[in-house]
Amino acid sequence: MNDERLVVTGTGIRTIGQMTMESIAWIKKADRVLYIISDPIAEEMIKTLNPSGAESLQSFYAENKPRLKTYHEMIDRTLHCLRSGEIVCMAAYGHPGVFAYPTHESVRRARAEGFKARMLPGISAEDCLFADLNVDPAMAGCQSFEATDFLVNGRMIDPSSNLILWQVGVLGDTTFKPYVYDVRGMPQLMQKLYSYYSPYHDVYIYEAPLFPGVEPVIRKVPLYWLPNSGVSAISTLYIPPSMPPRVDTALSQALGLNSQG
């Protein structure tokens, strides 16, 4: 624990109870804790753990400002602190490696400059989704895409598997909005999903709870109702399988699987 100069850690979705002991130790140890968190409880916890070194990076966000520009400013600030000789802990909401470009890029650039850097795992919204919706990704497989990427990059899916679409509430918008996003790509998303699923196939709008004692948001709606389901910036779309898998009978027999059970 003495060699790292940059440690990137996650606070979990619900900071109280989901932050690991290892993450807490690094937040305490660091000269500078650069955090990307909007949850006031998580922010207060970090300030309590490291009163002199805690510094929010949220100020780099601005309405209608491209998110990529904000991310590069966060990375530059992180590298500046490293070059100044500080031990830096970069703390991000959820898992620091899931939908977190500035954390990955900070580690990459720090290593390129000769600093020892590592990333610690955390609890992501996907982990919470598997628990709250009682989904085992091993049972039918699981496909996971960022919603805009899924739409514009021609991603192909298997409707016999689980599908998770992240950030469906900011679909097609690359800027930051403090409140409501213009989900301008929803008609195109619906058209693509209809090529795989019936309009009446049930889908789930999911939002992980941020605070202890708060229930998750789980809205089950038919696919055709998705545009009217009130998706927000933190909404995740979960689509369960709509058909059984296509079994390769010859291969199954060759492996002796048909004789089991």
Q: Annotated active-site positions, please?
A: 67, 71, 93
Continuous segment of H or E residues that includes residue 36 = strand 32-36
CB 146 within 8 Å of CB 167: yes
Closest CA to 190 of 133, 140, 239, 142: 239
CB 67 within 8 Å of CB 36: no
- Tell me whether strands 162-166 and 88-92 are parallel, antiparallel or unpaired: unpaired
CB 205 within 8 Å of CB 219: yes
Does residue 38 sit in helix, strand or coil?
coil
Give dist(CA 180, CA 71) in Å, integer.
20
**Any idea what DSSP says for residue 214?**
P
Give dist(CA 225, CA 256) in Å, integer.
44
CB 197 within 8 Å of CB 242: yes
Residue type, 140: A
Does residue 155 sit in helix, strand or coil?
coil
Give dist(CA 217, CA 226) in Å, integer.
15
Closest CA to 214 of 134, 130, 128: 128
Cα-based distances in Å from 39 to 67, 86, 104, 111, 172:
19, 26, 21, 30, 25
